[in-house]
């Protein structure tokens, strides 16, 4: 047999190819990695003028963003975002408020529905039903947010207004409802994974003590999957904060400071989307928008990291006891 193997491809060629491919993968990897880090640093760099450029700082600075208030009695009059007027006002407050309002409604819709649906699917649904529900949720997840925004703007707003009699057609309720729909698949899949990951032995122990399936589901499985529910909350929160299209189209596009959920709103992301097209390169407005982007970056980073830490801690606790 030995002589046949002298037919083998020379070892030197194989080693050369191996070395080449190592270079290819390392090179491609490093390029992609470089770009990933570049996004962080570039966005940060373009918002630096807010801190260091004197011309930009005249209008766009931290004080203007977060503290400065105009003369007036009501909140609406005092915090204004109007970067393109003769006397530019750049308070982020109305935008932050808008973001929070929409997020609140979105989570209010998505978390109960998503968790309940996940619990039902994991603990009570017969197998055939489960295999229908999961693809349906995936279908919902596959709907582009521009489509959801369109639906909320053209169809949903009318229904909601007819139903509740709001003054404005586009408001936090409308946008938040559509946003909630977009968040449901995230909440559902994470919590459902969490429920199915609860060990069978927990359920068996509970049932063996004479509990009903419902009691088992609520008192044993639900608490055991607490890290997953928290993770779902955090991820949905992050997604809601950053969601652009739905809120741009269905929120009403009014940057006003109001706590009323029936008022139109504008979020941070939607502001960037709405105004970046006409901003002057290098101006205070430009830097302010980039700063907004950095802010969104930081918020998502913090919420993701916080979520991960809490999950890790919860898991350790559970494994320590369990």
Q: Which parts of 102-161 interact with other proteins (CB under 8 A)?
A: 112-114, 116-117, 119-121, 124-125, 133, 136-140, 142-151, 153-155
Question: Cα(262)–Cα(192) distance, rounded to whole angstroms?
Answer: 33
Contact region for other proteins (CB under 8 A) — 81-89, 196-204, 224-232, 237-245? 237-245
Give the start-end residues of each E strand in the chain: 81-82, 89-90
What is the smallest separation between the CB atom of 37 and other proteins, expressed in angstroms? 6
For other proteins, the closer of residues 97 and 119 by Cβ is 119
* Cβ atoms of residues 240 and 183 within 8 Å: yes
Q: Does 12 bind other proteins (CB under 8 A)?
A: yes
Question: Cα(124)–Cα(168) distance, rounded to whole angstroms?
Answer: 41
What is the smallest separation between the CB atom of 295 and other proteins, expressed in angstroms? 10
Q: Does 281 bind other proteins (CB under 8 A)?
A: yes
Q: Does 264 bind other proteins (CB under 8 A)?
A: no
Question: Cα(295)–Cα(126) distance, rounded to whole angstroms?
Answer: 45
Core vs surface per residue 228-245: b (16+ CB within 10 A) or e: bbbbbbbbbbbbbbbbbb
Q: Does 306 bind other proteins (CB under 8 A)?
A: no
Size of the residue set binding other proteins (CB under 8 A)? 94
Contact region for other proteins (CB under 8 A) — 30-38, 56-64, 83-91, 221-229? 30-38
Q: Which of residues 187-226 bind other proteins (CB under 8 A)?
A: 210, 212-214
Provide long-range contacts, Cβ within 8 A and 24+ apart, for 274-281.
274/248, 275/83, 275/84, 278/84
Q: Which of residues 42-101 bind other proteins (CB under 8 A)?
A: 42-43, 46
Please name the residues in contact with 289: beta carbons below 8 A apart, sequence gap of 6 or more: 271, 272, 275, 276, 279
Exactly one of 261, 300, 310, 311 binds other proteins (CB under 8 A); that residue is: 300
Residue found under tokens 């919420």: 303
Exactly one of 96, 160, 184, 198 binds other proteins (CB under 8 A); that residue is: 184
User: Cβ of 277: how many Cβ atoms within 10 Å?
Assistant: 6
What is the longest distance spanned by two Cα atoms in the chain? 97
Q: Does 242 bind other proteins (CB under 8 A)?
A: yes
Exactly one of 24, 62, 67, 197 binds other proteins (CB under 8 A); that residue is: 24
What is the smallest separation between the CB atom of 58 and other proteins, expressed in angstroms? 21
11: its two tokens: 């070892």
For other proteins, the closer of residues 40 and 66 by Cβ is 40
């Amino acid at each position: 047999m030995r002589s046949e193997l002298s037919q083998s491809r020379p070892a030197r060629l194989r080693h050369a190819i191996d070395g080449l491919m190592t270079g290819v993968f390392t090179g491609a990897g490093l390029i992609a990695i470089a770009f990933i880090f570049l996004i962080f640093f570039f966005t940060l760099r373009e918002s630096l003028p807010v801190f260091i450029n004197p011309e930009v700082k005249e209008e766009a600075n931290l004080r203007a963003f977060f503290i400065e208030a105009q003369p007036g009695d009501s909140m609406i009059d005092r915090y204004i975002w109007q970067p393109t007027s003769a006397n530019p006002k750049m308070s982020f407050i109305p935008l932050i408020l808008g973001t929070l309002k929409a997020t609140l409604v979105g989570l209010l819709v998505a978390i109960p529905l998503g968790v309940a649906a996940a619990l039902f699917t994991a603990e009570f649904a017969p197998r055939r039903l489960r295999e229908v529900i999961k693809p349906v949720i995936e279908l919902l997840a596959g709907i582009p947010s521009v489509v959801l925004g369109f639906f909320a703007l053209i169809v949903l707003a009318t229904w909601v207004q007819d139903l509740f009699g709001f003054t404005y057609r586009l408001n936090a309720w409308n946008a938040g409802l559509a946003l909630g729909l977009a968040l449901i698949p995230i909440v559902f899949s994470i919590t459902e994974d969490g429920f199915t990951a609860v060990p069978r032995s927990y359920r068996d122990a509970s049932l063996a003590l004479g509990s009903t399936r419902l009691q088992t589901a609520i008192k044993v499985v639900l608490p055991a999957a607490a890290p997953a529910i928290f993770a779902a909350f955090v991820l949905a929160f992050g997604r809601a904060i950053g969601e652009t299209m739905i809120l741009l189209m269905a929120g009403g596009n009014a940057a006003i400071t109001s706590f009323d959920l029936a008022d139109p709103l504008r979020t941070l992301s939607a502001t960037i989307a709405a105004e970046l097209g006409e901003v002057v390169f290098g101006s205070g407005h430009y830097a302010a928008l980039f700063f907004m982007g950095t802010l969104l970056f930081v918020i998502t980073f913090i919420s993701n990291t916080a979520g991960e830490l809490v999950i890790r801690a919860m898991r350790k606790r559970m494994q320590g006891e369990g």
